[in-house]
């Protein structure tokens, strides 16, 4: 019994010593964690300061985006249009020009950035209907369903896509190039013969209201850094637009003005903005802004502009660098009511608030 008591006392003493050493080690770890956390906070501040300095240096030293002039493009025979006289074509052009020149604003810079959340795969698309508060999320680069939220706030507060209304479409959408405009979803469907097929879907009734075929010479992607984007639909103050490539050998991005009611093609332009190293594009007031990057994702920047009304000159072309990077933009969608861009960057959903100014030639 005496031996047992001695051993028990020794074990108890060793246990107390071990407990004391453990408590001291935990205190040391907590102190080191606090120091490390402060160091990380300091590093984040320095990185943020360095990013702002980089923005300033790039704004002072980088060349402005190239602003290309709009030339009339004669519609191809594939549209089944009859040949008309030069005078009649000129009258049609003047009528179209007056119809697309009502909006007179150009982007002057990015005012603020809001990183909302991260949900889904590295590539996808999200946007808001300019005529309502509803938000639509397209996860990945193809599928037959999308997710609808009542507002941006509901989307930001929900874990993942829970709390959303899942909408199943009658056919698969291809690429993050869809657009939501005035209660309708416009999405790209890859046709069997490699033509581009645009589908108009009524989000209220849940039915397809129109489909149009967009003939191209061969299968091609509109942006070389996002090969999943077969074509890109965009909506702005002037209506519905389609960005596409006519063939894989064609170096530039083409632009088509579409009638959102009938899906008829009203006019086609060669933007002369190269597809090489392009990752996304968007349209504001009839001006196409093409965003470029590098194969190893760095800082996205607007490097080429094209204005269908020929009211933007190179001297006023904005120098826009997107301030924060995660990977590369899979999509950028403009909302004309809010004057904001909805970006999908490596699975992060980001809102870019823009500052605007009047075009100099107005």
Per-residue pLDDT tens over the stretch 233-251 = 999 999 999 999 999 899 9
Q: What is the pLDDT at residue 272?
A: 93
Q: What is the pLDDT at residue 354?
A: 95
Mean pLDDT of the region 98-103:
55
Q: Could you tell me if residue 52 is inside a domain? A: no
Longest dimension (CA), the chain: 120
Q: What is the pLDDT at residue 302?
A: 93
CA 312 to mean position of chain CA atoms: 23
pLDDT-based confidence at residue 167 (cuts at 50, 70, 90): very high
Nearest residue to 320 via CA among 347, 296, 299: 299
Q: What is the pLDDT at residue 65?
A: 62
Q: What is the pLDDT at residue 50?
A: 76
Is 61's pLDDT higher than 80?
no
Q: Could you tell me if residue 12 is inside a domain? A: no
Q: What is the pLDDT at residue 89?
A: 44
What tokens appear for 204 in the block?
Answer: 């209220």
Q: Could you tell me if residue 55 is inside a domain? A: no
Is 37's pLDDT higher than 70?
yes
Mind listing the pLDDT tens digit for each residue in 264-281?
Answer: 999 999 999 999 999 999
pLDDT-based confidence at residue 87 (cuts at 50, 70, 90): very low
Q: What is the pLDDT at residue 92?
A: 47
Residue 39 backbone dihedrals phi, psi, to 5 degrees: -65, -40
Q: What is the pLDDT at residue 96?
A: 42
pLDDT-based confidence at residue 57 (cuts at 50, 70, 90): low
- Please report, for residues 40, 203, 209, the alpha-carbon distance to residue 167 in angstroms, rounded to integers and kept in the order given: 43, 9, 16
Q: What is the pLDDT at residue 304?
A: 93
pLDDT-based confidence at residue 216 (cuts at 50, 70, 90): confident
Is 194's pLDDT higher than 90?
no
Nearest residue to 128 via CA among 153, 103, 111: 153
Q: What is the pLDDT at residue 4?
A: 87
Is 64's pLDDT higher than 70?
no
Q: Could you tell me if residue 177 is inside a domain? A: yes
Q: Could you tell me if residue 2 is inside a domain? A: no
Which residue range(s) make up the domain with 159?
Answer: 105-358
Is 104's pLDDT higher than 60?
yes
Q: What is the pLDDT at residue 83?
A: 35
Q: Strands 329-335 and 340-345, how do they pair?
A: antiparallel
When divided into structural domains, the chain yields a total of 1
Nearest residue to 290 via CA among 308, 299, 278, 272: 278
In contact, 65 and 318? CB cutoff 8 Å:
yes
> Distance (Å, rounded) from C-alpha 289 to C-alpha 284?
8
Q: Could you tell me if residue 51 is inside a domain? A: no
Q: What is the pLDDT at residue 192?
A: 64
Q: Could you tell me if residue 95 is inside a domain? A: no
Q: For residue 147, give the CATH number of its domain.
A: 2.40.128.630
Q: Could you tell me if residue 262 is inside a domain? A: yes
Q: What is the pLDDT at residue 74?
A: 36
């Amino acid at each position: 019994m005496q031996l047992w008591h001695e051993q028990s006392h020794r074990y108890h003493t060793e246990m107390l010593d071990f407990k004391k050493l453990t408590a001291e080690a935990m205190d040391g770890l907590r102190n080191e964690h606090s120091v490390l956390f402060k160091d990380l906070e300091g590093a984040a501040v320095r990185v943020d300061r360095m990013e702002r300095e980089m923005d300033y240096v790039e704004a002072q030293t980088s060349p402005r985006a190239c602003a290309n002039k709009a030339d009339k493009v004669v519609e191809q025979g594939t549209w089944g249009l009859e040949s008309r006289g030069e005078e009649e074509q000129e009258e049609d052009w003047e009528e179209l020009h007056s119809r697309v020149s009502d909006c007179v604003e150009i982007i002057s810079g990015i005012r603020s950035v809001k990183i909302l959340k991260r949900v889904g795969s590295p590539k996808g698309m999200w946007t808001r209907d300019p005529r309502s508060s509803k938000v639509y999320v397209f996860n990945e680069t193809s599928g037959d369903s999308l997710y609808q939220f009542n507002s941006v706030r509901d989307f930001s507060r929900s874990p993942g896509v829970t709390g959303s209304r899942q909408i199943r479409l009658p056919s698969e959408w291809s690429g993050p190039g869809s657009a939501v405009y005035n209660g309708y979803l416009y999405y790209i469907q890859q046709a069997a013969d490699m033509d581009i097929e645009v589908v108009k879907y009524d989000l209220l009734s849940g039915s397809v209201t129109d489909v149009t075929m967009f003939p191209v010479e061969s299968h091609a992607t509109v942006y070389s850094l996002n090969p999943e984007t077969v074509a890109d639909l965009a909506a702005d103050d002037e209506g519905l637009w389609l960005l596409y490539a006519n063939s894989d050998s064609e170096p530039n991005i083409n632009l088509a003005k579409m009638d959102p009611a009938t899906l008829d093609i009203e006019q086609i332009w060669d933007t002369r903005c190269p597809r090489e190293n392009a990752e996304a594009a968007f349209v504001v007031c009839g001006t196409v802004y093409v965003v470029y990057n590098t194969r190893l994702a760095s800082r996205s920047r607007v490097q080429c502009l094209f204005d269908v009304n020929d009211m933007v000159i190179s001297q006023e072309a904005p120098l826009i660098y997107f301030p924060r990077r995660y990977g590369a933009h899979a999509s950028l969608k403009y909302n004309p009511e809010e004057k904001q861009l909805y970006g999908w960057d490596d699975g992060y959903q980001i809102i870019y608030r823009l500052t605007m100014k009047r075009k100099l030639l107005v």
